[in-house]
Amino acid sequence: MAESTDSSNVPRHIAFIMDGNGRWAKARGLPRLKGHEAGAETVRLVIRCCRDWGVRYLTLYAFSTENWRRPALEVNGLMRLLQKFLQENEGGLHEHGVRLRVIGRRGDLPGSVRREVERVEAATVNYDSGELILALSYGGRVEIAEAARRIAEKVAKGELKPGAVNEKVVTDHLYAPDVPDPDLVVRTSGEFRTSNFLPWQSVYSEWLITPVLWPDFSESDFQAVIEAYTRRNRRFGGVESGVTKESNG
């Protein structure tokens, strides 16, 4: 299993767009929330797979800024599920030294959920065996817009010169500036769109779309994703590694 793949090629950071919970439930004649509950089990599985394969950073798109448009019943159910997930899985974070952090408009979250999230963030802040990054009320455009606003405020106060604003300065004002860009973004359930996920950070990520619905995503799907990634040739606008300017003629 893990031994068959060169560990130096394993992505350092994988981000998942966890999609398909609703369709999974519908196919079984169940309410959508049952799909989200099943999806929470996949989250546990994927956290374990990342640990087993040595993936250091795992980002999970759990709730988008657009998901507030869903019926209140579903939104409330998701918030409750999130709180329950944190309560049930905090022990695992401590046991394995994994730091939790949240990216997104945390002020949008119900007070009790926000307090729970921030309590676990604070309790795990010094861990460095891995990072679990939950995107909650996350929108990529609003992340960039908020960064722009904070940069503008610094410029207005004279703390920053307009000419000094570059890519690094923008990155430094995002939600988690020190987290490396995702090497791989995986979307389950077959949609070919980004749905406002990590637009700044994913410009050179490898993307992988699988038809598997999130609650059905298994350990062997995880392995297949890693193996597909290791076969990709990332060039970052350059030429294949090992090919020099001269030999490329």
Residues of this chain that interact with ligand IPE (CB under 6 A) are: 17-23, 61-64, 67, 78, 189, 191, 193, 195
Q: What are phi and psi of 138, to 5 degrees?
A: -95, 135
Shortest CB 247 distance to ligand IPE, Å: 43
Integer Cα distance of 221 and 155 in angstroms: 47
Integer Cα distance of 60 and 17 in angstroms: 6
Q: Check 6, 19, 172, 178 and give the catalytic one.
A: 19
Q: Which of ligand IPE, Mg ion, none does residue 53 bind (CB under 5 to 8 Å by kind)?
A: none
Judged by beta carbon, residue 78 or residue 151, the one nearer ligand IPE is 78
Judged by beta carbon, residue 78 or residue 120, the one nearer ligand IPE is 78
Using CB under 5 A, which of the segments 12-20, 128-136, 177-185, 222-230 binds Mg ion?
12-20
Which listed residue (11, 13, 17, 19) binds Mg ion by CB under 5 A? 19
In residues, how long is the chain? Answer: 249
Q: What secondary structure letter does DSSP report for 181? A: P
Shortest CB 41 distance to ligand IPE, Å: 13
Q: What residues contact residue 95 under an 8 Å CB cut-off, 6+ apart? A: none
Contact 109, 76 (CB under 8 A): no
21 labelled catalytic: no
Contact 91, 123 (CB under 8 A): no
Judged by beta carbon, residue 24 or residue 57, the one nearer ligand IPE is 24
6 labelled catalytic: no
Helix spans in the chain (H): 21-27, 32-53, 72-96, 111-124, 140-156, 167-172, 219-231
Shortest CB 108 distance to Mg ion, Å: 19
Q: What secondary structure letter does DSSP report for 103? A: E
Shortest CB 105 distance to Mg ion, Å: 19
State the residue for tokens 């926000």: 114
Helix spans in 71-110 (H): 72-96
Q: Which residue is nearest to ligand IPE (CB)?
A: 22
Q: Which of Mg ion, ligand IPE, none does residue 10 bind (CB under 5 to 8 Å by kind)?
A: none
- Using rule CB under 5 A, residue 212 touches Mg ion: no
Shortest CB 188 distance to Mg ion, Å: 9
Integer Cα distance of 246 and 223 in angstroms: 38
Judged by beta carbon, residue 180 or residue 211, the one nearer Mg ion is 211
- Using CA atoms, how far residue 99 sits from 118, 129, 221, in Å, is 12, 8, 25
Q: Check 9, 21, 52, 67 and give the catalytic one.
A: 67
